[in-house]
Amino acid sequence: METLALVVFSLAGYWLMYRIYGRFISNKIFALSEHNKVPSVEYEDGIDFVPTRKEIIFGHHFTSIAGTGPIVGPAIAIIWGWLPAILWVFIGSAIMGAVHDFGSLIISMRNQGKSISEFTSKYINARTRVFFFIIVFLAIWIVIAVFGLVIAIIFHIYPTSVLAVWLQIPIAIYLGHLIYKRGKNVGLWSIVAVTVMYLTIVLGSYFPIDMPAVYGIPATGIWTILLLIYAYIASVLPVTTLLQPRDFINAYQLIIAMVLLVLGVIVSSFSGKLEVVAPVVQLTPKEAPPMWPFLFVTIACGAISGFHSLVASGTSAKQVRSEKDSFFVGYGSMLVEGFLATLVIIAVAAGIGMGYVKDGQTLFGFQAWSTHYATWTAAAGLGSKIGAFANGAANMIATIGIPHHIGIVIMGVFVASFAGTTLDTATRIQRYVVSELAADLKINILTNRYLATAFVVITAAALAFASGADGAGALTLWPMFGAVNQTLAALALIVITLYLKRQGGFKWMIAGFPALFMSVMTLWASILNQLEYSGKEDILLLIINAATIVIVLWIVVEGLIKFFSGSEQTVQRNPSVM
C-alpha cells in the first residue's frame, strides 16, 4: 500500500499546488489578462503563429517538453534511493520547474513570441544575448542529434513499436484534414484516431520490424537518417498539418498511459503484488557520482529542465490564444510531468520487483532491483533506463488484464511517440533560433524557413555521424548535456527574475531563489565534470565544458550587475508592455 499512498499524496499535492500556488503566481505575480494582445493573434500566419485551444496546445507543449526526460532521469536517479527522487520531483516541479516554464512562456508572449535567448538582450544586455544563443544552440544541437539515435535505439529494443509509431503520422495528418479542412469535431475524431492507433499497437506486437544494415550502415544509422528527414519535413509544415493533430493523439495517449499506470498501481497494491523494493536512501551506490549535486542534474524534465524554456518561448508562445490559457499550458503541464515522473519512479522502484528477466532467469523483489541497479555503469545505458521503466510498467498493468507483451509495446510506443514529438519540435525551435540570430546579423539566407531548417538538420546529422555510421556521434557530448540543460534552466530563471524585478516589490523572489539554487547546483556539477574530463584527458569535453562554464559565469555576473544596478524603471500597471 506504500506505492498507492505515494500516488494519492502526490496527486493531491500537485492539485493543491496548481489551485493555490499556481493561481497566486498567475493572478498576483504575472497578472494575466485576456485583454493583452498575444503573438498567435497579432502575427497569425497559418504556419507558426496559429491561435489554438488550450487543451490542444497543452498536448503539444506537454509532449514536446516530456520526450524521454521524465522516464530516463528518474530511472537512473533511483539508484540514490526512491525518497530523494520523489522529493526532488515534487519540490522541483511545483516550485521551480512550473515557475520556469510558465515564466518563459508568458514573457515570450509579451515579447512577440520571441525565444528566450532573443529577449535576453532586453532584460540583461546585447552581449549576454549572444552568449545565451551559444548555450541554446549547443543544447538543441545535441538534443536533435541524440534524439534521432534515442528513437532508433527504442526501435531496436522494441521492434514491435515501430509500426504503430510510423503509422501515427498518416493518422495524424488525416485527423488534421478532418478537423481543419472539413470542420469535424475535435474530441470525437481524436478519440477515433487514438483508437485506430491502439489497434496498430496490437498489430505491431504481431508484426515487429527489424531494420537491416544497408550498404554497411547499421540499423541505428539508417533510422537516424530517416528520422532526421522526417524532422525536416515535419518542422517546415504548418503546425496544423502534422504538429497539432499529432498532439491531439499524443495528449490522449498520455492520459491513457497514465490511467493504465494508476490502475496498475491500485490493483497490484490491493492484491499485495506491488511493494517498493528500492532502498529509501542510498548515498554511496557503487561507481555513482555524489548525490549532491548530480541528483538535480540527472532528474531534469520531471523537476526542472532548461529545454522547457525553449519550447515555451519557441513553439508554444506562438500558439497560445490568450494569456489566461498560458497558466494551464505552462504551469499545469509541468505538474502533470512531475506526476508522470512519480509514476516512473514507482515503476522502477516497485514494478520491476514483480518480475525481471536477467540471463534467462526471472528475478523478483529486491534481488530484481539490485541486479538491475548493481552499479552506476550497469544502470546508465539508455536501453537499461527505458527497459527498467517499460518492464516495471508492463508488470503493473498486467494486473488489470493487459498481457505483458502488449504492455511492453504500449510503453514502447508511448516513449517513442513523445521522443518523436521532442525531435521535430526541437528542430523547429532551432530553426527559430537560427533565423532570429541570422536576422540580427543580416544573414538573410538563413531567415528562410526551408534553408534554416536544412542548416539545422545538416549540422545535427554532422554531429550524429561524426564518430561513424551508427549515428552515435552526439553521445561524445552527451555526458555534459545534463549540466548544460540545467544551467540553461538557471539562466532562464535569471531572466524571469529580472523581468519580475522591473515590476517592483518582491515578485522577483518566486524565480530568484530557484535561480540561485539551480545556478549553484549546475555550476557545481559542471566543475566536477571538468575535473573528471581532465582525469580522463578528454580534450573535446574539456574544451566545450570549460567554455560553457565561462559563458554561464559571465551571464550570471551580468545578471547580478543588472539586478543590483537599480537602473530599471518600475512599471506595475500593465506588465504586458514590458
Cell of 553: 559565469
Distance CA 373, CA 386 (A): 13
What span, in angstroms and rounded, lies between the C-alpha atoms of 392 and 294?
Answer: 24
- Please state which CATH number belongs to domain 2-577: 1.10.4160
Question: For the segment 420-437, what is each residue's pLDDT rounded down to a tens digit?
Answer: 888 888 999 999 989 988
**Domain residue spans in the chain?**
2-577
Average pLDDT, whole number, for the chain?
Answer: 88
Residue 225 corresponds to which cell in the numbers above?
537518417
Distance CA 351, CA 356 (A): 9
Check if the beta carbon of residue 453 is closer than 8 Å to that of residue 235.
Answer: yes
Distance between CA 249 and CA 246 in Å, rounded?
Answer: 5
357 forms beta bridges with: 362
Q: What share of the chain is helix, strand, coil (3-state, %, to 5)?
A: 75, 0, 20
- Cα of first residue to Cα of last residue in the chain, in angstroms, is 50
Q: Do 150 and 383 contact (CB within 8 A), yes or no?
A: no
CA distance 450 to 478: 28
**CA distance to 53, 114, 331, 333, per residue, from 58 (Å):** 9, 19, 10, 7
User: What pLDDT, in 10s, does the model give residues 264-274?
Assistant: 999 998 888 88
Question: Rounded distance, CA 558 to CA 547, Å?
Answer: 16
Take residue 271 and report the three cell numbers written for it: 492484491
Is residue 153 within a helix (H) or strand (E), and if so which, with residue range? helix 126-157
Please give the backbone phi and psi of residue 490, each rounded to the nearest 5 degrees, phi first: -65, -40
CA distance 496 to 258: 31
CA distance 497 to 486: 16
DSSP per position, 158-225: -GGGHHHHHHHHHHHHHHHIIIIIS---HHHHHHHHHHHHHHHHHHHHHS---PPPBTTB-HHHHHHH
CA distance 55 to 247: 10
Omega within 30 of 0 (cis) for the link into 293: yes
Question: Which among 396, 394, 134, 121 has a CA at the least distance from the CA of 275?
Answer: 396
Residue 226 grid cell:
530517416
Q: How many CB atoms lie within 10 A of CB 550?
A: 11
Could you read off the pLDDT tens digit of each residue along the chain, which spans 578 residues? 688 999 999 999 999 999 999 999 999 999 999 899 999 999 999 889 999 888 888 888 988 888 777 888 888 899 999 999 999 999 999 999 999 999 999 999 999 999 888 888 889 888 888 888 888 888 899 889 888 888 888 888 889 889 999 999 999 999 989 988 888 888 888 889 989 988 998 898 888 999 998 888 999 899 999 999 999 999 999 988 888 888 778 878 888 888 999 999 999 988 888 889 999 999 888 888 899 999 999 899 889 999 999 999 989 999 999 999 999 999 999 999 999 999 999 999 999 889 888 777 888 888 888 888 877 776 666 667 778 888 899 999 999 999 988 888 888 888 888 888 888 889 999 999 899 888 888 898 999 999 999 999 999 999 999 888 888 888 778 778 888 899 899 999 999 999 999 888 899 999 999 999 999 999 999 999 999 888 887 788 898 889 889 988 988 899 899 998 865 544 444 444 44
- Angstrom distances, CA of residue 537 to CA of 483, 531, 534: 19, 10, 5
**Residue 439's CB: how many other CB atoms inside 10 A?**
13
* Cα–Cα distance, 211 to 206 (Å, whole number): 16
In this prediction, residue 376 carries a pLDDT of 77
- pTM across the whole model: 0.90
Task: Take residue 285 and report the three cell numbers written for it.
Answer: 551506490
C-beta atoms surrounding 375 within 10 Å:
12
d(CA 386, CA 346): 14
The whole-number pLDDT of residue 381 equals 63
